[in-house]
Amino acid sequence: MKNYSCSGACVALNWIICLLFFLVTVISLVGVYRTHFGLNGMMFGSSNGSFALLAFVAALTMWSKTMCRCLCSKE
C-alpha cells in the first residue's frame, strides 16, 4: 500500500466522502429491501430487484475502499 501524506483538509474531505458512501450504501440497502419485499410479499427475479442488488454491491464496494483509505492511511 502506498503511503499518502494528506493535510487536515484532505483528511476531513476523505471522511466526508466516506460518510456519503455510507449513506448511499444504507439507502441502496433499503432499495433492495423494498424491491424484494413489496406489498405482494417476497418477489425475486425482477429487473428492478437485480438493479437494486447491483447498486448495493457497487455502493458497498466504494464505501469499503474509502474506509480503507481513511483508516489504513499511515501518516
Does residue 26 lie in a domain region? yes
Number of structural domains in the chain: 1
Cα separation of the two ends of the chain: 13
What are the cell numbers at 52? 437494486
* C-beta separation of 24 from 59 below 8 A: yes
Q: What is the pTM of this model?
A: 0.76
Does residue 37 lie in a domain region? yes
Chain segment 4-53, per-residue pLDDT in tens: 566 778 888 888 999 999 999 999 999 999 888 877 778 778 888 889 99
Does residue 43 lie in a domain region? yes
Residue 60, domain extent? 22-71
Does residue 10 lie in a domain region? no
Chain segment 57-73, per-residue pLDDT in tens: 999 999 998 888 777 75
Q: Which residues contact 75 (CB under 8 A, 6 or more apart)?
A: 5, 6
